[in-house]
A and B are shown apart, each in its own frame.
Chain A
Amino acid sequence: MTEVLLAVGTNKGLLLARSADRATWQISDLQFPMNGVYAVGIDTRGAVPRLLVSATSEHWGPSVFHSDDLGASWAEPEQGAIAFPEDTGASLARAWQLTPSPSEPGVVWAGAEPSALFRSEDGGEHFSFVRSLWDHPHRPDWGAGFGGQAVHTVLPHPTDPRRVVVAMSTGGVYRSEDAGASWTAANTGIKAYFFPDPWPEFGQCVHKVARDPSVPERMYLQNHHGVYRSDDDGRSWESIADGLPTDFGFAMAAHPRRGDVAYNFPVTADAERIPPDRACRVYRTEDAGKSWTALTSGLPQQGYYGIVLRDALCVDTADPAGVYFGTRNGEVYASADEGDHWSLVAAHLPDVLCVRAAVIG
């Protein structure tokens, strides 16, 4: 069996869990204590895996660290990895997303708060500002969701480095076909019920987008009410919410190899942020959202109040695929069989903000 690393970002630090069987886990001590870890990237492109961590101290501000020894030591540039240029008048509040490019060696994208995109060409040590998105004429009208105004999703195309999709709440989805030189709003079909015109060009409160690796023009999207699929690289979206118990939630993840397979953790409603039926249930589709199946084996089905935030649901690349999620009440669950059965990795943690898993050996 391959060894898997599971990184758990919480609002009070990072935990790293390792397992050879994805059933029993060795869990590290808390790293970056009292830092909110909103994003983790595990870059497996090089000879050794590189961990990237966004750690934000309420007192001392945001940082992006990297480790080439699986978290035994961490480094950051003296001047910091990410900074807004002086003329923007903005300062980094935190990095919300750290995404190694699948098509360009050394390239890592970072989504930032306030809403901005940064690009690194040295594996995530130093990032440069993507001014084209910042200069987009829509930007003054992008709002701030409850979590802040941030680019929380960056989805480079698996094979075409010219194509990148970003998403933010409240602003919506934007796509580029020229390596980030220009950006087009890509929200056709996504409802924004909280506006007088519920079908605006932009301003949707998109919570998460996941790209289907085996059908790269396909993406799955969890909106602030609404669950959608695009089959044309984000140009248009159609609802896939009918088979779910509710269309609210934060998280979405796609299977690493099996096309049409995705995972979601429904939340009752905007005004009722607890799971439907007070039960801990991941939903899986195997037909690109036409139907969804509740996955319950090993998960608490009564009196359950934890929910899964936007980056706290992920998959690994093992076969069968592992699926992982963390909750706001500090639990982490893992499935080694694509979601059919689940076991508890850790409990009693701080709120889980993100999870990322990768095969490391």
Chain B
Amino acid sequence: MAKVVLPGALRQFSDGAASVEVALGDGATLADVLDGLAAQKPALARRLRDDQGQLRRFVNVYVDGEDARQAGGLAAPVPAGAEVLVLPSVAGG
């Protein structure tokens, strides 16, 4: 399992939950985690990835504290028990 931890702004799409557990297979990647999230909570998962499955520009994801974009992006490995933290980047006015 991995625990996807959500910012407050997204909890309206998780029935109020602060995190969602996603089952993992061996060698799981961030893409696998987000696919698993989409199967459970499609309206939530769409807030993280665009129509082509890419991470939205101002969405940051940290796997056990490491910025996923620096660790392969959607191919970033996600070990069993990992915490996948979703945060909005600092943007806009």
Contact = CB atoms under 8 A, between A and B. Distances in A.
Interface of A: 34, 57-61, 63, 76, 78-80, 83-84, 86, 89-92
A61 B50 contact: yes
B43 A76 contact: yes
Contacts of B51: 83-84, 86, 90-92
A60 B52 contact: no
A59 B56 contact: yes
17 contacts: A57-B47, A59-B9, A59-B56, A59-B59, A59-B88, A59-B89, A59-B92, A60-B9, A60-B10, A60-B56, A61-B47, A63-B46, A80-B43, A83-B51, A86-B52, A91-B50, A91-B51
Nearest to B43: A78
Of B50, B51, B58, B91, most buried by chain A (CB within 10 Å of CB) is B51
Given A59-B89, A79-B46, A91-B54, 8 more contacts: A59-B47, A60-B59, A80-B43, A83-B51, A84-B52, A89-B52, A90-B52, A91-B51
A237 to B, nearest CB: 35
Interface in B69-93: 88-89, 91-92
Contacts of A58: 58, 91-92
B37 to A, nearest CB: 13
A91 B46 CA distance: 11
B42 interface: yes
Contacts of A90: 51-52
A76 B56 CA distance: 20
Interface residues of B, number: 18
A92 B49 CA distance: 11
Contacts of A91: 50-52, 54
Contacts of B43: 76, 78, 80
Interface string B19-50: 00000000000000000000000110011101
A61 B56 contact: yes
Contacts of B48: 60
Nearest to A79: B42
A277 B54 CA distance: 47
A78 B42 contact: yes
Contacts of A89: 52
Give the 4 A-B residue pairs with the shortest CB-CB distance, closest first.
Answer: A91-B50, A60-B47, A91-B51, A59-B88
Interface of B: 9-10, 42-43, 46-48, 50-52, 54, 56, 58-59, 88-89, 91-92
B52 A59 contact: no
Contacts of A92: 50-51
A58 B57 CA distance: 9
A80 B56 CA distance: 15
Given A86-B52, A89-B52, A59 B46 contact: no
Of B10, B46, B54, B58, most buried by chain A (CB within 10 Å of CB) is B46
Nearest to B54: A91
Contacts of B42: 78-79
A86 B54 CA distance: 11
Of A57, A58, A60, A91, most buried by chain B (CB within 10 Å of CB) is A60
Contacts of B59: 59-60
B81 to A, nearest CB: 27
B58 A59 contact: yes
Contacts of B92: 34, 58-59
B62 to A, nearest CB: 15
A83 B51 CA distance: 6
A80 B43 CA distance: 7
A61 B46 contact: yes
Contacts of A83: 51
Contacts of A63: 46
Nearest to B50: A91
Nearest to B60: A59
Contacts of A78: 42-43
Contact of A59 (B50, B54, B91): B91
Contacts of A84: 51-52
A307 B58 CA distance: 30
A281 to B, nearest CB: 30
Contacts of A76: 43
